[in-house]
Structure 1
Amino acid sequence: MKIAYKYIVPVMLLTLFSCGGGGDDPTPDPQPEPEVPAPLAAALIFPDNNEECTEGVVVSESESQVTFQWGASENTDSYTLQLNNLETGETSNSNTSNTEIQITLNRGTAYSWSIVSRANGTNETATSGTWRFYNAGAPVENYAPFPAYDPYPQMGVAIDAGDITLQWESSDLDGDTLSYVVYLDTVTPPTGQLGETDTNSYETNVQANNIYYWRVQTIDAAGNSTTSEVFEFRTNP
């Protein structure tokens, strides 16, 4: 008799596993950096515009320390004080995160100043108006006028050749009547005298393709005088 053997073959079930549930999750889009608001211009407080500054602390016969003050401006992290010696044309910048800064100045000298507002995270800035003042020196009966400022043509611009009118602004602490001597040349400092005038302008003629340098001597009724910095403009070919 034959015996039949029944073989049972186990069946192996293979389970395939896949990573990530069938696919990678999409990478989220990068979030844009928040926009930094531009700073606003500061309001100037002291020294006062077109006034004599007598509140400085005298440190020597020739120098005193003056504290510049301005109002805080919105969206601003720091400030730059821009200072200009109106008699020599020398400029300087001083940085601070406060709304005041003390600077050592020459006594008996006219200056202009303005404030640039800055914010972290942006290159945008805002500039205040420009104020002028006379830093007090030894007492005098009559002050020299401010050197001429705000020239036209503006510094470094190019204009067409021909007839032009040079213009400028001026002021005097004593309110004296002012007169002017105007110099214009193609070399600096300019020595060619155009003429004299009692107004804040002078008509002249300029040639093409030149660089012109000019300045104004301001004279008050008491005979005091100041000379502006050298202004510059170009003429088109």
Structure 2
Amino acid sequence: MTIACSGGGSDDGAPPPTNVDSPTASTLIFPENNTECNEGVILSDTESAVVFRWNASDNTDSYQVSLRDLNSGNTRTLSSITNELEITILRGNPYAWSVTSRSNVSTQTAQSEEWKFYNAGIPVENFAPFPADLIHPEMGSSIDLPSGNQITLDWDGNDIDDDIQSYEILFGTENPPTDVEGTASDSDLTVNISSGEVYYWRVITIDSQGNSSTSEVFQFRVN
């Protein structure tokens, strides 16, 4: 009698699965949040070179720095294998920046906080406010029509001089919105809405010296 032996599909030679640690988020160091950046090398009347610094994060092989021009809305993405990077930027201009930690052995990434700063330019006595951060409703969101047919717009405003005087809210069904829905001294405003409409809104921040900044446009749909 012949007995046949089968391997039974077992693959004893395969390596055991390994656990890969994901990168951790970095902590930003410089330029500091909501401040004027006075450090850097002046290259011309319009540009300076600033060294961006952040804490090294665990399980990280490289970093991706996102730098957003708050006046134009344009974002630059730059890479570094160390926890600092020199970047040439415009003088007298507001920016927001953040760092993404990446690993060569993991598809997971980790995102730092986003900080804002003004890059120093020709000395001024008073700075314009940072463009407001729109919070609620979120960009591209869909909401059910609330009872009372009203919703509260929320945003966050910041100014190096801490002298924000008022906000002007542009709101409507046209993109970009041009109608002034109202003004506010606090960072919220309740508006009337209707079912089936798409609304667009933005905020103009005004300080005590008459300086102003304009946020990006957010949109939301009412079901």
Q: Rate the CA distance shift 1:38–1:27 in 2: closer, same or farther, 3 A.
A: closer
Identity of aligned residues (%): 47
Aligned match of 1:174: 161
Q: Is the 8 A contact 1:36 1:122 kept in 2?
A: yes
Aligned match of 1:4: none
Misfit runs of 4+, over 3 Å:
22-27
Q: Distance in 2 between matches of 1:150 and 1:81?
A: 22
State how many pairs are aligned.
215
Letter in 1 for 2:97: W
The alpha-carbon deviation at position 60 of structure 1 amounts to 2.2
DSSP-derived class of the 2:113 partner: coil
Aligned match of 1:59: 43
DSSP-derived class of the 2:158 partner: coil
Q: Rate the CA distance shift 1:95–1:209 in 2: closer, same or farther, 3 A.
A: farther
Aligned match of 1:132: 116
**TM-score, scaled to structure 1:** 0.84
| Deviation string, structure 1 residues 67-94 (Cα, Å, up to 9, x no partner) | 1100000011111111222222222211
DSSP-derived class of the 2:189 partner: strand
Aligned match of 1:118: 102
Q: Distance in 1 between matches of 2:160 and 2:168?
A: 20
Residue in structure 2 matching 1:46, options 9, 15, 30: 30
Letter in 2 for 1:133: F
DSSP-derived class of the 2:53 partner: strand
Q: How does 1:1-150 map to 2 (within 5 A)?
A: 27-150=11-134
Q: Distance in 2 between matches of 1:150 and 1:191?
A: 17
Q: Distance in 2 between matches of 1:71 and 1:219?
A: 35
Residue in structure 2 matching 1:163, options 150, 158, 172: 150
Aligned match of 2:206: 219
DSSP-derived class of the 2:152 partner: strand
Letter in 2 for 1:32: P
| Deviation string, structure 1 residues 176-230 (Cα, Å, up to 9, x no partner) | 1420100012232211110111110111022223332211111101111111122
Q: Is the 8 A contact 2:134 2:215 kept in 1?
A: no
RMSD: 1.8
Letter in 1 for 2:24: L
| Deviation string, structure 1 residues 39-63 (Cα, Å, up to 9, x no partner) | 1000100000110001122222222
**TM-score, scaled to structure 2:** 0.89
